[in-house]
């Protein structure tokens, strides 16, 4: 049992708080706050109207409670909806960035330095939902790729933003998406022109720093015909006793023959051993595939006190492909209700779902997924596999797959298993001189391999380490 | 639906006044509590997660007769075809919800195979001990049934007794000017190491709309063996809402077969509580539907203690505009380790307008378990069809053969030969072929 105790002792190493002067809006949510945010961001009139419309719709909506999670609903009037590291003037080069901020990112192991070129990753950094720095912007621009903060995009490329924002996740899609649409403060925007293969991994790094704030970022990624992009996202937050709200929206648009690979390593603060504090991660992610397009979601979810997240694919075009690979680890009092939606509308559409859940401590992990085959989706194909691994007898694992088929040519397979780490597997490792600790890491890694293999290399290493930290000392 | 709900609520007062002496029995309090639950909850709507895919509104928007006059013109020869055998079974027959003694063969020797109303007089202790303790009283349609519970089948097998032949329970509805709503209430109590085998059927003989809201409670004491078959091959005007709850003790084994071949809306709520170690539950289902028929199978297996076993296999074939719904849940309670639970749901879609919504769920709160579920949706294998046709078998027959092969796993556990023959005929008729062999 000592070993089980150790699990809960594994530390969250990103839990520090950096003192950075910040601009914070007063707490509360009303139309004035939205006007304030919009004014702060120097947004055009149409954007403000769009936000206000979303806010009015949000007011009419009720917070969903169908997910298999329990939490005290946040008081939406007790959150500050705008917090930004104070800028003295516009940043021209890295030297002008607040040194405190730079130190923060050194601690996080993310170099904003353009040395990062060596690893070939362009980074957009978002602190408290304001983009502070985007690297490689110029270099990418040479190829016609636009990669910048969404607030800049609204000003600089209004026609693109206007054309696509809210088309994949409508303003009134759900409670949290509506809230996000009303108050989002920043996020990343990316446009890949026709036929361009993005030469480097694009990446956004999110961090909540200030207390009493929520993070509401919005990502819009458009891959024009025949283009390709691989996109990564990572996140951390300081340790706090209170629950912080993170309600993001991610929209992906893959036009004809385009391919988008979207990877997430989510490591928000999960709360302490008693389940106090932690981030509420209520995220709406969705992508739309036109003809021959492909969207692939890969996620490694280890953080957050409560996760509510269903990255989805709308397979609208013929021959389009949707993929979802997920590892969700919950420990202590974490709760995760996550999965995907694959909506087949076009002919010959294919989707694959591989979901691996690992539950330890007193946590609860749920897979909730929808596979829907529309009446016109001839020859649609889906394969789903949802496995859960349980460690300890106080945790719970659940599977809620919804399968709705309206076409007789559909081929759909779903399978799920729940078990613990096999005693014989452990014994086999022990026999060969591998200590139990390492054996578990080995087995868990093997169990998640299908998903980890999908991650870009830089992230795969990080994700593997993260898994080890999250489950340190766990014995089934 | 509100109009009919109000009618039911006022009918309850009329019903209460007809009860005379029975009103003072403790059982009547259960009816009163239940009507309160129904009044509060009303009919389920598609906003209820459990009724997401089945809309009862078009059904209960109509008016129904709740009380029915006695009917005695029906002769055995008219309805012989619905029985398994003329003489080799016990029979409990109801017409419009009222017991038809001349068509039944009941017994009180060694064990009680009789009616619920008779048990209300003769076996009050059994009624008070079990009725309402197994069924889900918080479910509004079950509560509605409980509030009017008066007639149905009553089967009480004492410890160690084995019932020597199958028990047939039949519910007929006859022609009437108005739509018919009946609510049978069945109780099956099987004592320690006792055994019995039941075949239940609902059949509409009239042309009016008929809705059966049937509730069955099954108690299997330690070591008991119960096999329960439900044949649902009703008229297109008839709907059935069947809620069956089974409670199992140590080392008991209960098998429920559900054959859904017809009916406007057929909803099966089948729930098992495995309360002591060694209990074994088997659930088999075969649905073959066409036209505008709908079948909705909701099953829940509650593994409440360690070392229990459950196995579930549902097969569905849907043609024309038929709709299938499957919602299977395996719920492993905390500390119910060494649970072994398996669930499989396979479906064939034969037409462009047919659809299937399936939701196999696992809810697991214990670590040392072996639980899995699988679910597939597909079509007949082209290669297999080609193989058969090559050998001179017609398209229709070849398809029927493959479909039969598809369902056979869920049929092979049937032990009663007469039932096998009967099902064979039903399936052949349903698939519109002549099969010159038996299952």
The domain limits of chain B are: 2-401
**Is A412 within 8 Å of A403 (Cβ atoms)?**
yes
- Percentage of chain A exceeding pLDDT 70: 77
Q: Do B367 and A391 touch (CB under 8 A)?
A: yes
Give CA–CA dist B259/B49, Å, rounded: 25
Give CA–CA dist A222/A160, Å, rounded: 9
Within 363-422 of A, beta carbons closer than 8 Å to B belong to: 375, 388, 390-420
pLDDT for res B305? 93
Give CA–CA dist A225/B10, Å, rounded: 66
State the DSSP code for A326.
E
pLDDT by residue (tens digit) across B152-162?
A: 999 999 999 99
- Nearest by CB to A405, from B355, B366, B372: name it: B355
Lowest-confidence range among A265-274, B108-117, B140-149? A265-274
**Is A225 within 8 Å of A258 (Cβ atoms)?**
yes
Three-class HEC string of chain B:
CHHHHHHHHHHHHHHHHHCHHHHHCHHHHHHHHHHHHHHHHCCCCCCCHHHCCCCCHHHHCCCEECCCCCCCCCCHHHHHHHCCCCCCCEEEEEECCEECHHHCECECCCCEEEEHHHHHHHCHHHHHHHCCCCCCCCCHHHHHHHHCCCCCEEEEECCCCECCCCEEEEEEECCCCCEEEECCEEEEEECCCCEEEEEEEEEECCCCCEEEEEEEEEEECCCCEEEEEEEEECCCCEEEEEEEEEEECCCCEEEEEEEEEECCEEEEEEEEEECCCCCEEEEEEEEEECCCCEEEEEEEEEECCCCCEEEEEEEEEECCCCEEEEEEEEEECCCCCCCEEEEEEEEEECCCCCEEEEEEEEEECCCCCEEEEEEEEECCCHHHHHHHHHCCCCHHHHHHHHHHHHHHHHHCCCCCHHHHHHHHHHHHHHHCCCCCCCC
pLDDT by residue (tens digit) across B174-191?
A: 888 788 889 999 999 999
Residue among B340, B309, B273 at smallest CA distance from A419: B340
- Scanning every residue of chain A, which has its alpha carbon at the shortest distance from the alpha carbon of B354? A406
- Nearest by CB to A408, from B352, B363, B371: name it: B352
C-alpha R_g of chain B: 21
- Nearest by CB to B360, from A375, A401, A410: name it: A401
pLDDT class for A2, splitting at 50, 70, 90? Answer: very low
Token pair, residue B220, equals 């299997």
Count of beta carbons in the 10 Å neighbourhood of residue B188:
26
pLDDT for res B314? 93
Q: Which residue has the higher pLDDT, A113 or B10?
A: B10
Give CA–CA dist A152/A43, Å, rounded: 9
Q: What is the pTM of this model?
A: 0.82
Give whichever of A292-296, B46-50, B124-128, B347-351 has the largest mean pLDDT: A292-296
Which of A68, A386, A414, A424 should we substitute to test contact with B (largest number of B Cβ atoms within 10 Å)? A414
Hey, is the C-beta of B377 within 8 angstroms of any chain A C-beta? yes
Alpha carbon distances (Å) from A353 to A208, A289, B65: 30, 16, 50
pLDDT for res B149? 87
Within 28-87 of A, beta carbons closer than 8 Å to B belong to: 66
* B322: chain A residues, CB-CB within 8 Å: none
Q: Do A418 and B372 touch (CB under 8 A)?
A: yes
For residue A262, the surrounding DSSP H or E stretch is strand A259-266
Distance from CA of A471 to the nearest CA of B (A): 16
Q: Do A401 and B350 touch (CB under 8 A)?
A: no
**Is A197 within 8 Å of A227 (Cβ atoms)?**
yes
**pLDDT at residue A440 above 90?**
no
| Mean pLDDT score across all residues of chain B | 88
Hey, is the C-beta of B351 within 8 angstroms of any chain A C-beta? yes
Token pair, residue B121, equals 């007089």
* A402: chain B residues, CB-CB within 8 Å: 357, 359
Distance from CA of B329 to the nearest CA of A (A): 9
Q: Do B377 and A397 touch (CB under 8 A)?
A: no
* B379: chain A residues, CB-CB within 8 Å: 408-409, 411
Phi then psi for residue B98, to 5 deg, are: -110, 140
Hey, is the C-beta of B365 within 8 angstroms of any chain A C-beta? yes
pLDDT for res A129? 52
- Nearest by CB to B364, from A396, A404, A414: name it: A396
pLDDT for res A9? 46
* A405: chain B residues, CB-CB within 8 Å: 347, 349, 355-358, 377
- Scanning every residue of chain B, which has its alpha carbon at the shortest distance from the alpha carbon of A390? B367
Give CA–CA dist A276/A270, Å, rounded: 9
For residue A457, the surrounding DSSP H or E stretch is helix A457-470
**Is A367 within 8 Å of A360 (Cβ atoms)?**
no
Hey, is the C-beta of B100 within 8 angstroms of any chain A C-beta? no
Q: Which residue has the higher pLDDT, B98 or A211?
A: B98
* A66: chain B residues, CB-CB within 8 Å: 49
pLDDT by residue (tens digit) across B325-358?
A: 999 999 999 888 889 999 999 998 888 888 999 9
Give CA–CA dist A415/A136, Å, rounded: 43
* B49: chain A residues, CB-CB within 8 Å: 66
- Scanning every residue of chain A, which has its alpha carbon at the shortest distance from the alpha carbon of B372? A417
C-alpha R_g of chain A: 22
* A420: chain B residues, CB-CB within 8 Å: 367-369
Q: Do A375 and B352 touch (CB under 8 A)?
A: yes
Collect all residues with Cβ–Cβ distance below 8 Å to A273 and sequence separation of at least 6.
Answer: A8, A9, A332, A333
Hey, is the C-beta of B363 within 8 angstroms of any chain A C-beta? yes
**Is A319 within 8 Å of A347 (Cβ atoms)?**
yes
**Residues A208-228, mean pLDDT to the nearest whole number:** 82
Give CA–CA dist B253/A278, Å, rounded: 47
Buried b (16+ CB within 10 A) or exposed e, B291-324: eebbbbbbbbbbbbbbbbbbbbbbbbbbbebbbb
Give CA–CA dist B307/B20, Å, rounded: 48
Collect all residues with Cβ–Cβ distance below 8 Å to A93 and sequence separation of at least 6.
Answer: none
Which of A393, A417, A426 should we substitute to test contact with B (largest number of B Cβ atoms within 10 Å)? A393
pLDDT by residue (tens digit) across B288-303?
A: 898 889 999 999 999 9
pLDDT class for B367, splitting at 50, 70, 90? Answer: confident
**pLDDT at residue A118 above 80?**
no
* B335: chain A residues, CB-CB within 8 Å: 393
Phi then psi for residue B271, to 5 deg, are: -130, 135
As for the ipTM of the complex, it is: 0.78
**Is B428 within 8 Å of B435 (Cβ atoms)?**
yes
**pLDDT at residue A475 above 60?**
no
* A419: chain B residues, CB-CB within 8 Å: 369-371
Give CA–CA dist B361/B369, Å, rounded: 15
pLDDT for res B71? 72
Which of B312, B364, B374 should we substitute to test contact with A (largest number of A Cβ atoms within 10 Å)? B364
**pLDDT at residue A105 above 80?**
no
pLDDT by residue (tens digit) across B51-90?
A: 888 888 888 888 888 888 777 778 888 888 888 888 888 9
**pLDDT at residue A77 above 70?**
yes
Give CA–CA dist B23/B9, Å, rounded: 17
- Percentage of chain B exceeding pLDDT 70: 99
């Amino acid at each position: 049992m000592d070993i089980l105790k150790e699990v809960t002792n594994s530390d969250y190493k990103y839990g520090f708080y950096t003192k950075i002067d910040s601009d914070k809006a007063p707490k509360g949510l009303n139309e004035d706050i939205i006007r304030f945010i919009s004014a702060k961001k120097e947004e055009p009139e149409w954007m403000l109207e769009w936000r206000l419309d979303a806010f009015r719709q949000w007011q009419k909506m009720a917070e969903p409670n169908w997910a298999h999670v329990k939490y005290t609903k946040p008081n939406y009037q007790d959150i500050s909806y705008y917090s930004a590291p104070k800028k003295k003037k516009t940043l021209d080069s890295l030297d002008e960035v607040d040194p405190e901020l730079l130190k923060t990112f050194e601690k996080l192991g993310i170099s904003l330095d353009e040395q990062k070129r060596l690893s070939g990753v362009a980074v957009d950094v978002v602190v408290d939902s304001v983009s502070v720095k985007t690297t490689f912007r110029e270099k990418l621009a040479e190829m016609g790729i636009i990669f910048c903060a969404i607030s800049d995009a609204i000003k600089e490329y209004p026609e693109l933003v206007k054309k696509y924002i809210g088309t994949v996740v409508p303003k009134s899609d759900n409670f949290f998406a509506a809230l996000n649409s009303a108050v989002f403060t920043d996020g990343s925007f990316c446009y890949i022109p026709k036929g361009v293969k993005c030469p480097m991994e694009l990446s956004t790094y999110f961090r909540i720093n200030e207390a009493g704030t929520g993070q509401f970022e919005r990502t819009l990624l458009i891959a024009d015909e025949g283009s390709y992009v691989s996109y990564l996202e990572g996140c951390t937050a300081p340790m706090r006793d209170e629950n912080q709200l993170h309600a993001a929206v991610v929209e992906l648009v893959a036009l004809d023959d385009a391919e988008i690979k979207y990877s997430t390593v989510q490591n928000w603060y999960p709360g302490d051993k008693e389940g106090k504090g932690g981030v509420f991660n209520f995220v709406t992610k969705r992508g739309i595939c036109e003809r021959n397009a492909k969207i692939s979601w890969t996620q490694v979810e280890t953080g957050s006190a409560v996760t509510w997240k269903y990255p989805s694919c709308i397979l609208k075009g013929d021959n389009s492909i949707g993929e979802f690979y997920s590892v969700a680890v919950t420990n202590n009092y974490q709760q995760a209700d996550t999965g995907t939606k694959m909506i087949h509308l076009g002919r010959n559409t294919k989707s694959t779902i591989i979901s691996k859940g690992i539950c330890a401590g007193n946590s609860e992990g749920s897979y909730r997924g929808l596979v829907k085959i529309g009446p016109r989706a001839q020859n649609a194909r889906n394969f789903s596999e949802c496995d859960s691994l349980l460690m300890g007898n106080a945790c719970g694992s659940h599977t809620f797959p919804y399968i709705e088929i309206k076409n007789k040519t559909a081929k759909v397979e779903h399978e799920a298993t729940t078990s613990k780490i096999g005693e014989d597997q452990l014994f086999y490792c022990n026999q060969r001189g591998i200590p139990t600790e390492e054996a578990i890491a080995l087995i868990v890694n093997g169990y998640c391999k299908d998903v980890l293999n999908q991650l870009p290399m830089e992230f795969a290493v990080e994700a593997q380490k993260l898994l080890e930290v999250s489950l340190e000392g766990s014995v089934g | 639906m509100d109009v009919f709900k109000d009618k039911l609520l006022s009918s309850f007062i009329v019903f209460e006044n007809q009860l005379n002496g029975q009103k003072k029995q403790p059982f009547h309090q259960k009816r009163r509590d239940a009507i309160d639950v129904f009044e509060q909850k009303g009919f389920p709507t598609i906003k209820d997660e459990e009724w997401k895919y089945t809309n009862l509104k078009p059904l209960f928007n109509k008016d129904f007769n709740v009380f029915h006059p006695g009917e005695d013109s029906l002769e055995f020869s008219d309805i012989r075809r619905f029985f398994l055998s003329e003489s080799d079974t016990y029979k409990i027959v109801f017409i419009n919800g009222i017991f038809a003694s001349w068509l039944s063969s009941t017994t009180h020797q060694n064990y009680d195979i009789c009616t619920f109303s008779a048990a209300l007089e003769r076996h009050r202790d059994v009624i008070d001990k079990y009725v309402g303790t197994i069924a889900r009283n918080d479910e509004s349609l079950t509560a509605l049934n409980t509030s009017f519970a008066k007639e149905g089948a009553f089967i009480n097998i004492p410890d160690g007794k084995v019932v020597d032949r199958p028990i047939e329970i039949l519910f007929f509805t006859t022609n009437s000017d108005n739509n018919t709503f009946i609510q049978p209430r069945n109780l099956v109590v099987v004592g320690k190491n006792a055994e019995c085998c039941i075949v239940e059927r609902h059949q509409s003989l009239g042309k009016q709309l008929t809705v059966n809201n049937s509730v069955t409670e099954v108690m299997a004491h330690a070591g008991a063996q119960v096999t329960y078959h439900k044949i649902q091959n009703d008229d297109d005007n008839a709907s059935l809402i069947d809620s069956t709850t089974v409670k199992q003790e140590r080392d008991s084994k209960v098998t429920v077969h559900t054959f859904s071949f017809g009916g406007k809306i057929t909803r099966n709520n089948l729930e098992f509580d495995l309360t002591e170690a060694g209990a074994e539950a088997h659930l088999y289902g075969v649905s073959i539907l066409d036209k505008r028929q709908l079948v909705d199978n909701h099953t829940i297996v509650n593994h409440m203690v360690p070392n229990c076993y459950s196995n579930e296999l549902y097969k569905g074939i849907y043609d024309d505009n038929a709709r299938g719904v499957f919602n299977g849940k395996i719920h492993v309670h905390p500390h119910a380790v060494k649970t072994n639970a398996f669930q499989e749901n396979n479906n064939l879609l034969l037409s462009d307008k047919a659809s299937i919504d399936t939701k196999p769920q696992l809810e697991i709160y214990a670590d040392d378990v072996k639980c899995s579920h699988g679910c597939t949706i597909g079509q007949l294998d082209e290669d297999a069809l080609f193989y058969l046709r090559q050998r001179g078998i017609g398209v229709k027959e070849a398809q029927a053969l493959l479909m039969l092969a598809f369902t056979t796993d869920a049929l092979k556990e049937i032990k009663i030969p007469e039932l096998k023959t009967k099902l064979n005929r039903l399936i052949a008729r349903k698939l519109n072929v002549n099969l010159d062999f038996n299952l």
